[in-house]
Amino acid sequence: MKEELETKILKSGQMIIMTAGEWSDYGIIFAAKALKDFNVEKVKAEFPCKGGFNEYSFGIWLVKQGYVEEVEMIEWALGNYGKKNELSKQLGVSE
């Protein structure tokens, strides 16, 4: 069962991947490591969002406030999404 992050306490040293969007615009914003224990809901409420919440600004703010440090990451896609057409061509299969 997936625990709701909004009620979670992040522990120092835990890794977090921040994402945003839905369906086709869904994506990873950044990966980070918690530098201290904190309640995600309370910290999000502290974020001074002028003109509406912005996920990218929130990530930068978390770093500046010392809650997290950004870590280098790469995406390792294990599926074949987007490769079906190329494979179909190679096999001579019509779509």
**29-58 confidence digits (pLDDT tens):** 889 999 999 998 899 899 988 888 888 889
Whether the CB-CB separation of 29 and 55 falls below 8 Å is answered with yes
Mean pLDDT of 59-64: 93
Model pLDDT, residue 33: 96
Residue 37: which domain range?
A: 5-91
CA 78 to chain centre: 18
User: Which of 66, 76, 69, 16 is closest to 46 using CA atoms?
Assistant: 66
Backbone angles phi, psi at 55, to 5 degrees: -60, -40
pLDDT reading at 61 higher than 90: yes
Confidence of residue 87 (pLDDT cuts 50, 70, 90): low
Q: How far apart, in whole angstroms, are the C-alpha atoms of residue 31 and residue 29?
A: 7
Model pLDDT, residue 1: 40
Q: Are strands 27-34 and 68-71 parallel, antiparallel or unpaired?
A: antiparallel
Count of domains observed in the chain: 1
Mean pLDDT of 10-23: 90
| Structure token digits, residue 56 | 């990218």
Residue 64 or residue 74, greater confidence: 64
Q: How far apart, in whole angstroms, are the C-alpha atoms of residue 72 and residue 32?
A: 8
**pTM across the whole model:** 0.70
